[in-house]
Amino acid sequence: MARSYNLADLLEILAEAGPDRPALVAGDERRTYKELNERASRVGHHLAAAGVEAGEHVAILAYNRAEWIETMLGAFKIRAVPIPVNFRYVAGELRHVLSDSDSVALVGERSLLAKVEEVRADLPKLRHVVVLEDGSDADIPGAVEYEKALAAARADDDFPKRSNDDRYIMYTGGTTGYPKGVEWRCEDIFFGALGGGNVLGDPITSPEALAENAAQPAMAVLDCAPVMHGAGQWVAFMGLFSGAKVVLYTDHAFDPDKALRLLAEEQANVLMLVGDVMARPVAKALAAGGYDTSSLFAIASGGAPLTEGAREALKEHLPNAIFLDNYGASETGACGPSVGGATEGTARFMMKPGITVLDDDLKPVRAGEIGKLARTGHIPLGYYNDPAKTASTFFTDADGTRWSVPGDFASLAEDGTIVLLGRGSLMINTGGEKVYPEEVEVALKDHPDVYDAVVVGLPDEMFGQRVAAVVAPRPGATLTLEDLTEHCRGRLAGYKLPRQIHFVDEVQRTAVGKSDYKWAKSVLGV
């Protein structure tokens, strides 16, 4: 039987070709490809027996753990659609995502499911709940225990034929409003975000060709990012589909010492971090010494900017490591690697084919001009349950080419790289000049004593708006507005320099880890 690009088909191909290869490590749990496939099959058979049908949605609410990956693949086994849910959400946000996604089943950790119970009466479509134990004693009425469910289910691969058109949905938080579900075809997400079966080379030409990855030398990827977010999830599946051992960081808070010790224990070759928020603590821990990093040859980053300062801090202790800092978004997939060595305070990327910068007429801009980042080819179908938002993000040009244009402003450099500038809705207009907050944030965070920063525009009598920042210094550091403007002066044009800075112990972020601009304005008195 011909295979599809449904993620369950791809797992089965690898399990058949290399059953005993290590596939997944999460805390004390370890799975070979055969074991991972069998447990995913048990999940699938259990869900089917519980009445979940092809095309229906199965939500996952958990921290990083082996069962998270098993559940996602198990849903794909029966052509259902897994819905990753942010474990940081409060009851109201959980109500929105579970309702908006039309989820009929939910697999979650007991303590997290307790928050769902607060809004369960508002979720009439949710008819089946499976509990992952996490030490909590919360009562979840009518729920089934995960391990008991798997023990009673079959482990075979006797499932209906799957399709390249089977759906994959990732909810994205953005910077404003409620999260929205970005809906992909499985074939498109595989090639658009999961490496296409060959992360560093040409994509595979058929699902069956993935079997060759089971003969590749063993690799190990330590994934410290949450797999409920795109960056962490995509790296996990890039690793699995390349035949690697994927090691999930399972602590609920990031500890660089634990991460580096885990790296040594599992002899990880790739370390996945979330921008500066993880990279700088890792660099500080490395400076203290005592870690075996001999197996490491690459550091991947996604989900948040990795500034040049953080990169250089890591290079001091890992001089031979290569950096795989990629731009990606739920609406575009993984687009391309960053270009190191930039000093102008902006994020520059060498984008893949099919990715460019378009003007308002969907025409490519010339070098030096500003437009919106756009991708064609393997892109999403749109937003689930939101035709209006779909129509405002996905466009078809006069030649019939369909584009995803999620709203990131960018410019095309002379050398072909793309300079990211941020969302236009957050743009600051100061004296007629346009300033994009993200480029100022990157410049500020390149200062060695800045831990985090958020930039917003404030009303200004003379210029209309002025650039202002909320900055969290590193512990023990003392900073002034003058220190930071002088630091940024060589990186940014004068009109982009912050005119006002408020220092805080910690910069607040949204539940999905993005800059909280509304909070920043409130801190600045607006």
CATH of the domain at 41: 3.40.50.12780
- Do 96 and 153 sit in the same domain of this protein? yes
What is the Cα–Cα distance from 98 to 510, expressed in whole angstroms? 19
SS3 of 376, please?
coil
What is the Cα–Cα distance from 309 to 246, expressed in whole angstroms? 28
CA distances from 268 to 227, 236, 272, 286, 444 (A): 18, 13, 10, 16, 32
Element (H, E) at 246: strand 245-248
Nearest to 485 by CA among 477, 496, 474: 496
The answer to the question of residue 9 being in a domain is no
Q: What is the DSSP letter of 373?
A: E
Of the chain, the percentage scoring pLDDT greater than 70 comes to 96
Length of the chain equals 526
Q: Is the Cβ–Cβ distance between 25 and 11 less than 8 Å?
A: no
The answer to the question of residue 400 being in a domain is yes
Whether residue 343 is predicted with pLDDT greater than 70 in this model: the reply is no
The answer to the question of residue 418 being in a domain is yes
- Residue 511, pLDDT score: 66
- Do 361 and 407 sit in the same domain of this protein? yes
The answer to the question of residue 299 being in a domain is no
pLDDT digits (tens, 9 = 90+) for 172-200: 865 445 789 999 999 999 999 999 999 87
The answer to the question of residue 240 being in a domain is no
More confident residue, 488 or 148: 148
More confident residue, 352 or 141: 141
pLDDT digits (tens, 9 = 90+) for 114-138: 999 999 999 999 999 999 999 999 9
Task: Find residue 183's DSSP bridge partners.
Answer: 169, 382
More confident residue, 273 or 414: 273
- Do 31 and 171 sit in the same domain of this protein? yes
Domain total of the chain: 3
CATH number at residue 504: 3.30.300.30
- Residue 88, pLDDT score: 85
Q: What is the DSSP letter of 297?
A: -
pLDDT digits (tens, 9 = 90+) for 285-295: 999 999 999 99
CA distances from 430 to 434, 463, 498 (A): 7, 5, 11
pLDDT band of 344, cuts 50, 70, 90:
very low
The answer to the question of residue 244 being in a domain is no
Whether residue 393 is predicted with pLDDT greater than 50 in this model: the reply is yes
Among 165, 186, 207, the domain-final residue is 186
**What are the tokens at 146?**
């995960």
- Do 135 and 40 sit in the same domain of this protein? yes
- Do 377 and 512 sit in the same domain of this protein? no
The answer to the question of residue 328 being in a domain is no
Q: Identity (one letter) of the amino acid at 225?
A: A
CATH number at residue 370: 2.30.38.10
**DSSP per-residue letters across 266-295:** HT-SEEEE-HHHHHHHHHHHHHH-----TT
Whether residue 306 is predicted with pLDDT greater than 70 in this model: the reply is yes
Nearest to 166 by CA among 47, 240, 81, 102: 81
Whether residue 342 is predicted with pLDDT greater than 50 in this model: the reply is no
What is the Cα–Cα distance from 168 to 55, expressed in whole angstroms? 10
For the range 117-122, what are the long-range contacts, defined as Cβ-Cβ under 8 Å and sequence gap of 24 or more?
117/141, 118/91, 119/91, 119/92, 119/94, 119/95, 122/95
The answer to the question of residue 282 being in a domain is no
pLDDT digits (tens, 9 = 90+) for 55-105: 999 999 999 999 999 999 999 999 999 999 989 888 888 999 999 999 999
- Do 422 and 434 sit in the same domain of this protein? no
pLDDT band of 424, cuts 50, 70, 90:
low
Among 371, 393, 426, the domain-final residue is 426
Q: Residue 300 burial (CB < 10 Å; 0-12/13-18/19+)?
A: buried
- Do 138 and 77 sit in the same domain of this protein? yes
Q: Residue for token digits 């979650």? A: 108
pLDDT digits (tens, 9 = 90+) for 452-476: 999 999 988 777 789 999 999 999 9
Cβ–Cβ contacts within 10 Å for residue 188, how many? Answer: 20
SS3 of 35, please?
helix
Q: Residue for token digits 């908006």? A: 100
Whether residue 345 is predicted with pLDDT greater than 70 in this model: the reply is no
Nearest to 61 by CA among 206, 228, 193: 228
Q: Are strands 22-26 and 382-383 parallel, antiparallel or unpaired?
A: unpaired
- Do 154 and 56 sit in the same domain of this protein? yes
SS3 of 324, please?
strand
Its domain, for residue 446, covers 430-523
**What are the tokens at 338?**
């960053």
What is the Cα–Cα distance from 406 to 351, expressed in whole angstroms? 16
Rounded to two decimals, what is the model's pTM?
Answer: 0.86
Of the chain, the percentage scoring pLDDT greater than 90 comes to 72
Task: Find residue 181's DSSP bridge partners.
Answer: 171
- Do 386 and 518 sit in the same domain of this protein? no
Whether residue 352 is predicted with pLDDT greater than 90 in this model: the reply is no
- Do 387 and 445 sit in the same domain of this protein? no
Whether residue 490 is predicted with pLDDT greater than 80 in this model: the reply is no
Task: Find residue 57's DSSP bridge partners.
Answer: 81, 103
Residue 494: partners with Cβ closer than 8 Å, 6 or more residues away: none
What is the Cα–Cα distance from 446 to 45, expressed in whole angstroms? 50
- Do 353 and 400 sit in the same domain of this protein? yes
- Do 411 and 441 sit in the same domain of this protein? no
Among 141, 162, 186, the domain-final residue is 186
CA distances from 364 to 20, 356, 371 (A): 49, 7, 8
Q: Phi-psi category of 431—alpha, beta or left, where left has phi over 0 and alpha has psi -120 to 50?
A: left
Whether residue 304 is predicted with pLDDT greater than 80 in this model: the reply is no
- Residue 494, pLDDT score: 84
pLDDT digits (tens, 9 = 90+) for 204-262: 999 999 999 999 999 999 999 999 999 999 999 999 999 999 999 999 999 999 999 99
**Cα 360 versus chain centre, distance:** 28
Q: Are strands 370-375 and 355-358 parallel, antiparallel or unpaired?
A: antiparallel
